[in-house]
Amino acid sequence: MKKVLIGLLTGTLILISSCSDNEKKTIDPSLQLDLAGEQLEKSLKWLGDTILNPRTMEDGSVRLVRSQDWTSGFWPGMLWYIYESTGEEQWKDAAHHFSMNLEQEMYNGGTHDTGFKMGCSFGNGYRLTGNEDYRDILIQSAKTLITRFNPTIGCIRSWDHNTDKWDYPVIIDNMMNIELLFWATKETGDPVYYEVAIKHAETTLRNHFRDDHSSFHVVSYDTISGEVVKKNTHQGFAHESAWARGQAWGLYGYTMSYRETGREEFLQQAIKIAEFILDHPNLPEDKVPYWDYDAPGKPDIPRDVSAAAITASALYELAGFSMDKKAELMMAADQILTSLSSDYRLSGDHSWPFLLDHSTGNMNKDSEVDVPIIYADYYYVEALMRKKSLMQE
Contact 382/53 with Cβ under 8 angstroms?
A: no
- Residue 66 CA from chain centroid, whole number: 18
Catalytic residue among 93, 133, 173, 366: 173
Cα–Cα distance, 372 to 361 (Å, whole number): 10
d(CA 166, CA 162): 6
Of 14, 94, 105, residue with least CA distance to 48: 94
Catalytic status, residue 173: yes
CB atoms within 10 A of CB 153: 25
| φ/ψ of residue 130, rounded to 5 | 70, 15
For residue 300, the tally of other CB atoms under 10 A from its CB is: 6
Let me know if 304 is a catalytic residue: no
Catalytic residues: 113, 173
